[in-house]
Amino acid sequence: MKRTLTFALLGFFLLAACQSAATTTPPASTSTAAPSPKPTAIPSPSPAPTAAPTATLVPAPRTFTEEFDATLPNWASFQVNNTGLDQQIQNGYLVFILTAPNDWVYSLYTRQDYKDVRVDARADNRSKEPAALGIVCRYSETDGWYEFNIYTDQTYMLLYGQGLKDGMARYVPLYRGQSEKIRVGGEANEIGLLCQGNILTPYINGVQMRKWEEQKFGLTNGKIGVSASAFENLPIVAGFDWVKVSEP
């Protein structure tokens, strides 16, 4: 009986000791670990908008040599008497075809105005009929222009021209001369006109002709150009190989 009681007490103390030892160990956590935050993508900076390029207008030259190899956006043509302008670019030539008597045609460089200027050109009368080839300086729609012409009879003329209503024009001769330097028979001629102050100086095939002091009309500024004219024998075909513009 004592042995049984002793074993019973011993079992009781062992059970109590085991329970006391079990409670000293902290319980394992049952909470779920918080997930690591995902990295946030940083947006790339948007490029600043680029302004559209602005077209830059190239200024038209003041001094140049026009060789008539393409279209002529800087030139404008007109005809006295309104008989129908026939102008063409042919193989590097500016060609005028005149089919009416007493017909005058002009082509002007419209992008610049000049005070003192020299204009030279190489031109030919392909029809070999009586006609005139010329150069213009100080052209103005309202005030008129100065013009230098050579003719197939080896004469030349400085004149003043002015546009009138209905496509007509009036011409006032300033000086008329004669020169064997003018080539005839369809040969090309190089002609030039220097407009400086009130002095007009013509050139024929590299030779200076008589200067003219102009005191009546007093043109001081304007455009430059070339001209061709027909008289009685038709048609007239005039070709300009090149035009050179320089400033003294």
Q: How do residues 8-53 score in pLDDT, each as one tens digit?
A: 333 333 333 334 444 433 343 333 333 444 444 445 555 555 656 6
Mean pLDDT of the chain, nearest integer: 84
Contact predicate 210/177, CB 8 Å: yes
7 inside domain: no
Q: How far apart are CA 80 and CA 39, in angstroms?
A: 84
User: What is the side-by-side strand order in the sheet with 222-230?
Assistant: 75-80, 103-114, 222-230, 131-140, 144-151, 155-163, 169-178
70 inside domain: yes
Q: How far apart are CA 186 and CA 205, in angstroms?
A: 15
Give the residue ranges of DSSP H helices in the chain: 2-23
170 inside domain: yes
User: Would you give the DSSP letter of residue 234?
Assistant: -
Percent of the chain with pLDDT over 90: 71
Positive/negative CA dihedral, 164, 148, 67, 88 = positive
38 inside domain: no
How many Cα atoms are found within 13 Å in the side-chain-facing hemisphere of 50? Answer: 4
Q: How do residues 67-97 score in pLDDT, each as one tens digit?
A: 999 999 999 999 988 777 899 999 999 999 9
**With bands split at pLDDT 50, 70 and 90, how would you rate the model's confidence at 226?**
very high
Between 129 and 53, the higher pLDDT residue? 129
208 inside domain: yes
18 inside domain: no
Q: How far apart are CA 81 and CA 48, in angstroms?
A: 60
Q: What is the pLDDT, as a whole number, of residue 81?
A: 80
96: containing domain: 64-246
11 inside domain: no
Q: How far apart are CA 148 and CA 225, in angstroms?
A: 11
CATH number at residue 84: 2.60.120.200
Q: Which of 128, 136, 162 is nearest to 239 (CA)?
A: 128
pLDDT score of 6 more than 90: no
Domain count within the chain: 1
39 inside domain: no
Q: How far apart are CA 115 and CA 138, in angstroms?
A: 7
